[in-house]
């Protein structure tokens, strides 16, 4: 899809596009979304006090999203696949800040050390490197520093899901909030609405000791998406 077509496809957004020019292009492809309902009291200490935890029908959620990051590049510069293409896993929760809803990353991992280093420098996001591999309908990750491990063997449907309110609440998020020692950064993003398919998990191993009380059990809900093209604006502190 042409970038101009992405920019004019905005009916699904909860607020208008930012007024300035976008800064980064990226693609989030072949995405696995695993979602858990969690206890507010367990989640609250992990989220900055400046952020309100967003709830659906009174319940907070945490999601693990595993996908292929592809063609990430600054505006006006071509992508360089040895750096711009890598596997990623993020663990996120859903938050509010002032008049906006968005996500907050509890963890963010990339499958290439140099890509993680450059992503940290350019975005300020706390990328860490994990060993990742992906084959047909299989995604595997291991991080020795934290003792984290993820394995999913799965099947996907070919028919799009008729989205519910919860489907949209979990996937359609257009702001990211990230804390730093002296600031809360806000990142605006835009993409077309996620195409969502059913996801059947044949094998699932999740061992994240830091979040064992949040995502230790099978997920309450799961999605698969072929992906979206994403435009991102410069962070605002």
Q: 3-class SS at 50? A: coil
* pTM for the model: 0.94
Kindly list the domain boundaries of the chain, sorted by start residue: 3-232
Match domain 3-232 to its CATH number in 3.40.50.720, 2.130.10.10, 2.40.400.10, 1.20.1530.20: 2.40.400.10
Q: What is residue 229's predicted lDDT score, i.e. its pLDDT?
A: 98
Q: What is residue 122's predicted lDDT score, i.e. its pLDDT?
A: 82
CB neighbours of residue 82 within 10 Å = 9
Indicate the Cα dihedral angle 52, 57, 62, 64, nearest 10°: -130
For the chain, the maximum distance between any two Cα atoms, rounded to a whole number of angstroms, is: 46
Q: pLDDT tens digits, the chain, 237 residues: what are they?
A: 899 999 999 999 999 999 999 999 999 999 999 999 999 999 999 999 999 999 999 999 999 999 999 999 999 999 999 999 999 999 999 999 988 999 999 999 999 999 999 998 888 888 999 999 999 999 999 999 999 999 999 999 888 889 999 999 999 999 999 988 778 999 999 999 999 999 999 999 999 999 999 998 899 999 999 999 999 998 887
Q: Whole-angstrom Cα distance, residue 201 to residue 141?
A: 16
Q: What is residue 158's predicted lDDT score, i.e. its pLDDT?
A: 85
Q: 3-class SS at 47? A: coil
Q: What is residue 16's predicted lDDT score, i.e. its pLDDT?
A: 95
DSSP letter at 49 equals T
CB neighbours of residue 148 within 10 Å = 21
Q: Whole-angstrom Cα distance, residue 183 to residue 73?
A: 25
């Amino acid at each position: 899809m042409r970038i101009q077509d992405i920019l004019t496809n905005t009916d699904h957004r909860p607020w208008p596009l930012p007024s300035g020019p976008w800064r980064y292009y990226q693609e989030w492809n072949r995405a696995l979304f695993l979602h858990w309902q969690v206890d507010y009291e367990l989640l609250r200490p992990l989220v900055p006090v400046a952020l309100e935890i967003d709830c659906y029908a009174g319940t907070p959620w945490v999601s693990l999203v595993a996908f292929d990051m592809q063609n990430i590049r600054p505006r006006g510069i071509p992508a360089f696949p040895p750096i711009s293409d890598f596997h990623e896993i993020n663990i996120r929760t859903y938050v509010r800040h002032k008049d906006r809803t968005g996500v907050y990353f509890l963890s963010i991992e990339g499958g290439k050390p140099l890509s993680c280093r450059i992503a940290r420098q350019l975005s300020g996001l706390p990328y860490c490197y994990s060993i990742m591999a992906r084959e047909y309908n299989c995604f595997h990750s291991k991080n020795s520093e934290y003792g984290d491990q993820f394995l999913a063997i799965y099947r996907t449907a070919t028919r799009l899901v008729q989205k519910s309110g919860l489907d949209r609440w979990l996937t359609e998020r257009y702001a990211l909030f990230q804390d730093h020692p002296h600031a809360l950064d806000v990142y605006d993003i835009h993409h077309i609405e996620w195409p969502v398919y059913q996801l059947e998990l044949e094998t699932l191993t999740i061992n994240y000791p830091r979040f064992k009380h949040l995502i230790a059990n099978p997920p309450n809900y799961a999605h698969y998406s072929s992906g979206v093209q994403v435009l991102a604006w410069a962070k605002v502190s």
